[in-house]
């Protein structure tokens, strides 16, 4: 697919706007459709503001900003997608709604138009099943904010043709993004492997081992993570993060490894979503002092190690189940959620035997299946192997 092909984006929320901005910047005529006129107006103003900021910073000149903006068409008429080479859907995470929309997109667009979903947790196979030509449907999952985050997960469904997969990946690579190929399983790579970053941190808090600030301190200061789990959940929004956790838990047939937390459920029910609501795990009201962490290094190391071995185990299991290659799993976690290192590389550094013994200790202490070590981890320790 080349630059003279038109790109369609459905949904003018922050994700859809971001994707449209990228496509227009990369030289495509871009059509952004949203049935909500207010959302369209907001998107238009926000893209203009972003382009103006890039001009102020000297990243682009005014003529280029005008050219990019000139490639964008904002409309509430979905039939404007008629001549597109690809349409990327970025609307509500609701399967029935998406299936209805994809059936409609298939009627509007030409036979060779690729239909892509930016879903973060729904089955691409289910979405594709709504189309007569399911082979042209694929998952293309950007991370927020799309123009800044380098990673894009490419998710072929069982029905997706090789040609669709190669064309879609080639297109996004051409947009100067880092693409990883992942199997169509719940959470794909990033949202699956990252679950313990939140889940285990919440469990540590619920057991009274440490408070939010101390857990966040351990992960950032000792672990080198850019944000601690509670700061990050407040940033993402507890409503969104909790919903993804519930979706992944149900999708994995209630595997205890992905069990949601009552602490997060209650915060979500209380409307304590985080930054956007002014209150989450932390209080963001004017003049409120942030709580001080307990900087006990021994406690911090215990917290870090417990979360880290759970993350590593999840990454190892994703490799064991052929979700993605080891390179793509490590790339996804460093480029998609800014982890300080790829988890499989990190596992080699710590020592796989160390990771295994910590997991076995946790499993025997709790008697819980959530701590069961991956079969691949056991095999590699037994055969004295490393990932790299």
- In 302-341, which positions are buried (b, 16+ CB within 10 angstroms) versus exposed (e)? ebbbbbbbbbbbbbbbbbeeebbebebbbbbbbbbbebee
Q: Which of 258, 261, 284 shows the shortest CA–CA distance to 272?
A: 284
Q: Which of 324, 332, 356, 329 shows the shortest CA–CA distance to 344?
A: 329
Q: Are 169 and 178 a contacting pair, CB within 8 Å?
A: no
Question: What is the length of the chain?
Answer: 388
- The verdict on whether omega for the bond into residue 231 sits within 30 degrees of 0, i.e. cis, is no
Helix, strand, coil tally for the chain in percent (to 5):
55, 10, 35
Is 13 buried (19+), middle (13-18) or exposed (0-12) by CB count in 10 A?
middle
The Cα–Cα gap between 369 and 269 comes to: 28
CA distances from 356 to 136, 308, 309, 340, 341 (A): 42, 12, 8, 21, 19
Strand, coil or helix: what is 39? Answer: helix
Catalytic center residues: 120, 141, 153, 191
The Cα–Cα gap between 152 and 335 comes to: 9
The Cα–Cα gap between 237 and 165 comes to: 32
- In the chain, DSSP assigns E strands to 7-10, 30-33, 72-75, 86-89, 114-117, 137-142, 151-156, 178-181
CA distances from 30 to 66, 118, 136, 176 (A): 14, 16, 20, 17
The Cα–Cα gap between 4 and 149 comes to: 25
The Cα–Cα gap between 62 and 65 comes to: 5
């Amino acid at each position: 697919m080349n630059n003279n092909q038109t790109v369609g984006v459905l949904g003018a929320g922050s994700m859809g706007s971001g994707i449209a901005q990228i496509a227009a910047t990369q030289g495509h005529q871009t059509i952004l459709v949203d049935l909500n006129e207010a959302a369209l107006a907001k998107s238009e103003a926000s893209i203009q503001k972003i382009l103006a900021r890039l001009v102020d910073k000297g990243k682009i000149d005014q003529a280029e900003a005008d050219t990019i903006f000139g490639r964008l068409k904002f409309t509430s008429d979905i039939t404007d997608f008629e001549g597109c080479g690809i349409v990327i859907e970025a609307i509500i995470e609701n399967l029935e709604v998406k299936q209805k929309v994809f059936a409609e997109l298939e009627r509007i667009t030409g036979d060779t138009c690729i239909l892509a979903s930016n879903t973060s947790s729904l089955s691409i196979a289910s979405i594709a099943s709504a189309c007569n030509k399911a082979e042209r449907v694929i998952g293309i999952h950007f991370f927020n904010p799309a123009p800044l985050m380098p990673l894009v997960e490419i998710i072929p469904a069982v029905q997706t043709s090789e040609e669709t997969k190669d064309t879609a990946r080639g297109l996004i690579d051409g947009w100067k993004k880092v693409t990883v190929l992942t199997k169509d399983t719940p959470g794909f790579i990033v949202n699956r492997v990252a679950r313990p970053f939140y889940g285990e941190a919440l469990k540590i808090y619920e057991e009274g081992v440490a408070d939010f600030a101390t857990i966040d301190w351990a992960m950032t200061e000792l672990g080198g993570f850019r944000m601690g789990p509670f700061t990050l959940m407040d940033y993402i929004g507890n409503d969104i993060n909790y919903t993804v956790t519930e979706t992944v838990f149900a999708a994995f047939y209630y595997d205890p490894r992905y069990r949601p937390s009552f602490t997060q459920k209650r915060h979500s029910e209380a409307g304590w979503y985080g930054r956007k609501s002014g209150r989450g795990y932390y209080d963001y009201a004017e003049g409120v002092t942030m709580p001080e962490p307990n900087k006990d290094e021994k406690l911090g190391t215990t917290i870090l190690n417990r979360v880290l071995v759970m993350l590593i185990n999840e990454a190892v299991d994703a490799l064991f189940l052929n979700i993605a290659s080891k390179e793509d799993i490590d790339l996804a976690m460093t480029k998609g959620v800014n982890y300080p290192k790829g988890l499989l590389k990190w596992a080699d550094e710590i020592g796989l035997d160390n990771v295994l013994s910590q997991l076995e200790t946790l499993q025997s202490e709790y008697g819980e299946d959530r701590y069961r070590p991956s079969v691949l981890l056991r095999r590699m320790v037994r055969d004295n192997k490393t990932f790299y």
